[in-house]
Amino acid sequence: MCEARNLFGTQRLSNLKLSASVFEEDWNGKIAAGPLAIKRLTLTDFRCYGHLRLDVDSGPVVLTGPNGAGKTNLLEAISFLVPGRGLRRARLGEAARSRDAGGDGSWAVAARALTQTGAVDIGTGIEVPDAAGGREQRLVRIDGESIKRQARLAEHLSVHWLTPQMDQLFVEGALARRRFLDRLVFGSDPAHVGRVNAYDQALRERARLLKERASPDPDWLIALENTMATHGVAVAAARVDLAHRLDAACAEGFDLFPGAYVTVEGELEAWLSDGPALACEDRFRERLAADRYRDAVERRTAIGPHRSDLRVRHRPKDQPAETCSTGEQKALLVSLVLGNAKMRAEEHGAVPVLLLDEITAHLDVERRTALFDAVVALGAQAWMAGTDRMLFEPLFGRAQFFRVEDATVTVDR
């Protein structure tokens, strides 16, 4: 059922909006391990929603309604329950309900999630910035305990998504593909978040030193390059490993969704194929030291995992994804998401939660039916959004349907 009400009163976010008390109708005992799922979703001052509670079961969820009704906002709320900036890559403050609509600049998303170890209460959000203009800070609570690192969220829940903006993934720049790949790695290796962040921070600091100082402190540079070598090679190795496993999972395809070849291209990745990781670290460290002058002049770091790229090929046609038709590219994207879910189920016994926004676009009726059948066969809780209810007809009787209009969610029978 769906219920809109004031759950939180006027107390501070850290004290109540993310506290365990939002789950007042608690369940007794633990839930047996199985597919990952959201059982209860509670929003407070998030985007267009003032207060909303939505209870669902572990199967597929279909949200239909007009454009601008709040469907994607619900999917985005779920995407904040894992590390990162959500499916829109929004700044934290951008997710808050507008002040004109009664928001105060804070927001919260809370969920009762089914995980492999049982039911877990997860919450995240931000407080109102203080009067001194303090920086917005993301808060995370797990089972009522305040958590300092959002990476801990990945230890409990894995969520992956496809949005209309991702339809251009294969023809955009490499950054979007690296982010897509890293989200897949996060799902099975939560520590990857910390490695990526540590590498990126050292990368930026080294670039700043080379840009601003004629004679930067060599010891400082050595320390930064050591950090880049250690974490950078670990990032590259994790990506290569995930791509190798995903390539195997996607080899046969999924009915009308083609098989795919999946690889990662880059200098570090090539070095890793030639020798051990420690040798690759040494080589990367030496290259960074040798390239300091060139990197300073060109104002970019010429080598590293920040320049790697995810490469995908249409397996039956042996054709690069970027040269395939729009429909074929969408089908390949679906194959990657389904392949990742299949891989996670085989390796960890848990299927990720899937967020599929406007998923019916560029899919004909046969492919839509094939997708829905695959989701049901995997046992995935897939949250799917679209404007036309009839496009989801193959899911009648196999999914929960909700109507979303003007930030109001009702059961659609």
- Domains delineated in the chain: 2-158+351-411 (3.40.50.300), 169-314 (1.20.1050.90)
In the block, residue with structure tokens 């790229």: 309
Q: What share of the chain is helix, strand, coil (3-state, %, to 5)?
A: 45, 20, 35
How many angstroms separate the CA atoms of 129 and 134, rounded? Answer: 5
Span 90-99, pLDDT tens digits? 999 999 999 8
pLDDT, tens digit (0-9, with 9 covering 90-100), for 86-140: 999 999 999 999 988 889 899 999 999 999 889 999 999 998 765 445 567 899 9
pLDDT in tens, 217-257: 899 999 999 999 999 999 999 999 999 999 999 999 999 99
| Cα first-last separation, the chain | 12
Question: pLDDT-based confidence at 22, cuts 50/70/90?
Answer: very low
Mean pLDDT of 52-76: 97
Of 266, 190, 202, 188, nearest to 231 by C-alpha is: 202
pTM of the entire predicted model:
0.88
Give φ, ψ of 34 to 5 degrees: 180, -160
Q: What is the average per-residue pLDDT within 175-199?
A: 93
Residues ≥6 apart with Cβ < 8 Å to 147: 140, 141, 153
What is the per-residue pLDDT for 134?
Answer: 59
Phi/psi at 105 (nearest 5 deg)? 100, -10
- Measured between alpha carbons, how far is 32 from 40 in angstroms, rounded to an integer? 17
Burial 108-144 (b: 16+ CB within 10 A, else e): bbbbbbbbbeebbbbbbbbbbeeeeeeeeeebbbbee
